[in-house]
Amino acid sequence: RGEQIRKIEVAPKRGTIYDRNLQKLAINIPSYSLYARPQKISNPKQVATLLAPLLKTKSSLLRNKLEQKQIFVWLKRKLPLSQKKQIENLNLEGIGFVEESNRFYPQKELASHVLGFVGVDNQGLAGVEFFYDNELKGQRGHFWIRRDALGYEIPFAREILQTLVPGKDLVLTIDSVIQSIVEEELAIALKETQAKSVEALFMDPHTGEILALSRRPSYDPNHYRDYPASAQKNHLIQSIYEPGSTFKVATASVLLEEDLVDMKERIFCENTLRIADHVFHDWKEFNTDLDFYTIVQDSSDIGMIKLASRINNDIFFQYIKHFGFGTRTGVDLPGEEKGIVRSSSSWSLTDPPCIAIGQGIAVTPLQIVTFLSAAINGGRLLRPYVVRAILEPGGRIIKKNNPHLVRTIISDSTSSMLREFLKGVVDGGTGKRAGVSGYFVGGKTGTAQIPLSGARGYAEGRYISSFMGFAPVGSPKVAGIVIIKEPTGAYWGGEIAAPVFGRIIRRALPYMNVLPEDEKWVKVS
């Protein structure tokens, strides 16, 4: 037997994923994939019987593989070292291991909906693992190797066909501490409200960087197959819902921009209002005159509908699109929904009043927080993002994602007024329970019924409760939303979602080194 030439392929190391402070969120650990050479196994039944309990599988399935007329067959991929040693102790002929790289998420469920997960061959299947798969996976190496007559590789005779390139690393915008705070508070909220799910998203309103994104129930990406698809899904960008009263911030923005409201005028807010075949009700009996500020603060549907009737339908539709609704934000995560915004040409008499109070329109949580950020940052609509930088394995920055201005949507003066209006919601309106000692918080409550599937109308007793807000009002450092879907018992957004938002902000702001702005809380040394 003479010299042999063989082509071999080497898999690259997948890139590491870090949070914004370089805490490792996704790494690689060695694993061992078990294979068999069936032609070298004299007693497949015995080997299958010995391996089955160690591999936690049926011996009949293993036996079928071992009896195949193939040179090589995989038995189980990505085993830990402990299992490898157990199998090696059996001293089985025709059985061997290939060392591979296994993706590991050391923080388990933390930020799992951002991270996603990989398949058995380390291909990205969800989250940034999927969106940035080309950057993370690197490039396989291909070599010709020469072996002598005894089968040993001939030194220095390796010929490179394709250079092995390790995967690039990602640095996320996610802050693991803020993410942990959010996840802890959502877990408490899920237990307290006995809801179907709870979710939250927080971002820097001046950059579009997503600081935290979470949902409960969640999943562990190390064992993603053990969870239903609904737990794996990133509902904050992949699911839409009717926003309810949180959308009144958009309606108020149009009224201010178009100069359609006098701050001194008062609107009579009766308990019910009939438009065509639809009767609108307020959430409580106002039955009095309210000014614009109080209509927003106390979330009067009747007041907002009456004011919104001054907006031309086509102009209202154009503003809604201008605010980013009905269009994907362009976030660097897969599967983003664009929402539902029907053209004004198809609106009935009841559509404008419904849309004014957040019904008959569907958005993603990310869309409405992106809009809120623009509403309170001076009017700058920014593209949200979750990856700050892409690094070479040595740490050199290859690409840096910077804040991206999509467009300016409202004037600075309108933005300033909205901040004051939304501060009033928390100071003395429906969002009081989002208040935080020492800080001025702004926001808007929302309570929406869930539309019937495949029919007109809404499901009885099924609600989505929310609170979206920002803090501190004087110089916003964080904007976000808490959404509680189908709670048991209390369902008003101001009652159950606002306190969760407040608890998150109360813990996050000191960590972010944001000083108290309420003078009575500032210590003088």
Q: Decide if 497 contacts 467 (C-beta within 8 A).
A: yes
As a whole number of angstroms, the distance between CA 357 and CA 251 comes to: 8
Residues 6+ apart with CB under 8 A from 410: 253, 256, 257, 374, 375, 379, 418
- Residue 259 carries which side chain, given as an amino acid letter? D
Is 245 among the catalytic positions?
A: yes
**Residues in a beta bridge with 202:** 212, 480
Residues 6+ apart with CB under 8 A from 214: 111, 113, 179, 182, 183, 186, 199, 200, 201
| Pairing of the two strands 169-172 and 17-18 | parallel
CA separation (Å) from 186 to 161, 226, 311?
51, 21, 38
Catalytic residue, chosen from 33, 197, 239, 245, is 245
CA separation (Å) from 444 to 358, 414, 488, 492, 498?
12, 16, 22, 12, 9
As a whole number of angstroms, the distance between CA 404 and CA 332 comes to: 12
Nearest CA among 223, 71, 170 for reference residue 388: 170
Residues 6+ apart with CB under 8 A from 524: none
Angle at 422 between CA 366 and CA 184, to 5 degrees: 50
Token pair for residue 447? 């309570």
Give catalytic residues, as residue numbers.
245
